[in-house]
Amino acid sequence: MFTKILIANRGEIACRVIATAKKMGIRTVAVYSDADREARHVALADEAVHIGPAASRESYLSADKIIAAAKQTGAQAIHPGYGFLSENEQFARRVEEEGLVFIGPKHHSIAAMGDKIASKRLAREAKVNTIPGYNEAIETPESAVSIARDIGYPVMIKASAGGGGKGLRVAHDDKEAFEGFTSCRNEARNSFGDDRVFIEKFVEEPRHIEIQVLGDGHGNVIYLNERECSIQRRHQKVIEEAPSPFISDATRKAMGEQAVALAKAVQYQSAGTVEFVVGKDQSFYFLEMNTRLQVEHPVTECITGLDLVELMIRVAAGERLPLTQQDVQRNGWAIECRINAEDPFRNFLPSTGRLVRFQPPKTSMWASDTGHLFGVRVDTGVGEGGEIPMFYDSMIAKLIVHGRDRKDAIGKMREALNGFVIRGISSNVPFQAALLAHPDFVAGDFNTGFIAEHYAGGFRAEAVPHEDPDFLVALAAWANRRALQRSAGISGQMHGHEFKVGEDYVVVKLEAAGRHQQQAAKVSDFEAESGSSVVETNGRRYTICSHWHLGGARIRGTVDGKAFTAQVERGVGKNPLALRISHNGTRLDTMVLTPRTAELHALMPFKAPPDMSRFLLSPMPGLLVDVAVQPGQKVQAGERLAVIEAMKMENVLFAAADGVVGKVLASKGESLAVDQPIVEFE
């Protein structure tokens, strides 16, 4: 067994590998860029080596620097995590040539599965179901149209070297096939330096289901059940679960056996994933093989009770798999939500900056510890006060729950999301909570088009119906009454003029354009010690009890004897009196006033926000990589104005209307804040 390993990665996956290495008594070496000097993985590792500037190309993607760091520190093996160099065949080969061990598959297995066209041929030879299609590189758009007609619409046009949703188009007719081929080829050339494109049948109402496989260097390969990964946005997974609520035992067995056959065909050693697209009739077809550990591996760890990182390390050290196919368990139900630094209310644009507050829900399961299951686990690479940099992907954390069955797991996940406090940057927690509450998700009735179908117009807080909206109003009134108790208890008040707390309030629901609704609420039977009160509103009566204190972001307590977790935020926006209540994906912004104050507030004129239509504003924090206009230049609607880059994502800003550029207010290379003006029009 190794005594020291280097982790060629960052963030939560680096922390995850360190956790297992510590359990095994293996010392760890972290590598870090300029942007990650204070990162959590650097603090957790036994040693850390600086490998360059923030840009991935000059740090985490530099094979020379990583191998030099391993040799310098005496590490015997390198774990690549996922992303970066994890599926780079040249890197795996180079590690082996330098006398180090690559904790992952052999370079020839990565090469065989890394090319989508070649991997399809291999799959067919291994008698794995493949999608009908034309698996040779296509040269012209005319050929693409002809081939698409032969296969039958709809078809999927894919780049051979594609990934992460890039180089992929769905075509329903000749026009879409012609245009899709051209744009797909250009995107592939720009993103991967490889413009080969192929076409295959598009499976309707498809599910994305993957099989976890595990092989050793002695010819043994097993499968560890499946993961359901159909809840995706723009081809990026959002929620994963194991097992799938859709497939039958017979389908599971058939998919697993085919995945093992493919892994054996490429002499696969280590953990890997064979991805399938599954039709509504449970017909399944091979998509691709990911020759690395997957982001969503924790759900498999929960239902099998196995530590996949430990098994990867043991296999890399030459050990045999400690179990056979008959030993693989399927116990309970696990769900994972990816918590990303993105603003769901601004079309999921990246959100970078400092984590002013980062308070994950209470955990009872931990990475590398398979002795504690049926609880809540948080895998993360950040902590409170940490920075979410603009240079890497947007993941803040992975929230994993393990329940007795799917209903229990959904309930645990909703409660955990309610208690996940993130302040300072925006996160997709409200969107995840809304997905978990959607009746179709709860019923298990979904496919890869679920988010595009149900949230085609984007995501809005008011679009998430709460099962009991009066409870949110009651909770706002209760939180305000609890806060006022502190004012009433301040010492030194003038006798006869002490601050008196009343029972009658008006909850003003703050809405856009000054259209505020008012709802009366009465808070009685208040007990300062226990935090118990009776709140009456809209003909409903709630007994709320909690020890929440002013300044706490989370309210944990009971309502009518049932436990709940919600979040409260004071001073939202520019209104110091505003109180935001968040629960089950619904957000309610309020002001809680006395009846007389509410009367006067209703008479206040509405102050419209300033007209910013003359400005091009940055929709997200990021790096301004290009300004395409100059002062005095005439522009037409739809013309390219600027390009902003953040979290591996390029965002092109276009002119909304014809106009003339007055001033350029930001320069190329500048770091922009959200809503910062870039261009002013005359």
Looking at residue 643, which CATH number applies to its domain? 2.40.50.100
- Quote the mean pLDDT of the chain: 92
**Cβ–Cβ under 8 Å, residues 80 and 104:** yes
Looking at the domain assignment, is residue 121 inside a domain? Answer: no
Q: Mention every residue, 6+ apart, whose C-beta is less than 8 A from residue 198.
A: 116, 117, 133, 134, 135, 136, 137, 138, 157, 158, 160
Highest mean pLDDT among 239-248, 351-360, 478-487: 239-248
The count of structural domains within the chain is 5
Looking at the domain assignment, is residue 607 inside a domain? Answer: no
Looking at the domain assignment, is residue 116 inside a domain? Answer: no
Give the separation between CA 482 and CA 529, rounded to whole angstroms: 11
Q: What is the CATH number of the domain that holds 478?
A: 3.30.700.30
Block residue for tokens 């116990």: 331
Q: Helix 116-125 vs helix 249-265: angle between axes, to the nearest 10 degrees? A: 110
pLDDT of amino acid 162? 66
Q: Which of 119, 476, 416, 89 is nearest to 263 (CA)?
A: 119
| pLDDT for residue 463 is more than 70 | no
| pLDDT for residue 417 is more than 80 | yes
Highest mean pLDDT among 116-125, 175-184, 325-334, 569-578: 325-334
510 and 377 both lie in a single domain: no
Tell which of 186, 201, 216 closes a domain: 201
Distance separating the N- and C-terminal Cα atoms of the chain: 69
449 and 557 both lie in a single domain: no
179 and 213 both lie in a single domain: no
92 and 157 both lie in a single domain: no
61 and 91 both lie in a single domain: yes
Q: Which of 555, 507, 500 is nearest to 531 (CA)?
A: 555
pLDDT of amino acid 514? 67
| pLDDT for residue 164 is more than 60 | no
531 and 664 both lie in a single domain: no
334 and 384 both lie in a single domain: yes
- Which residue segment(s) compose the domain that 146 sits in? 132-201
Tell which of 103, 122, 144 closes a domain: 103
Give the separation between CA 586 and CA 437, rounded to whole angstroms: 10
Give the separation between CA 244 and CA 35, rounded to whole angstroms: 38
The active-site residue, picked from 87, 89, 187, 288, is: 288
Split at pLDDT 50, 70, 90, the class of 429 is very high
389 and 431 both lie in a single domain: yes
List phi, psi (to 5°) of 15.
Answer: -65, -35
Block residue for tokens 């091979």: 286
**Cβ–Cβ under 8 Å, residues 430 and 461:** yes
Looking at the domain assignment, is residue 621 inside a domain? Answer: yes
Looking at the domain assignment, is residue 111 inside a domain? Answer: no
Does 89 participate in catalysis according to the annotation?
Answer: no
CA-atom Rg of the chain in angstroms: 27
pLDDT by residue (tens digit) across 173-228? Answer: 999 999 999 888 888 887 677 888 889 888 888 999 999 999 999 999 999 999 99
Give the separation between CA 190 and CA 203, rounded to whole angstroms: 27
Q: Helix 116-125 vs helix 107-114: angle between axes, to the nearest 10 degrees? A: 100
The average pLDDT across 484-495 equals 82
In 594-658, the DSSP E strands lie at 615-617, 622-627, 634-635, 640-646, 649-654
Q: What is the percent of the chain where pLDDT is above 90?
A: 71
For the stretch 485-513, what's the b/e string if a residue is b when 16 or more beta carbons lie within 10 angstroms of its beta carbon?
Answer: eeeeeeeeeeeeeeeeeebebbbbbbeee
Tell which of 201, 235, 258 closes a domain: 201
pTM score, whole prediction: 0.87
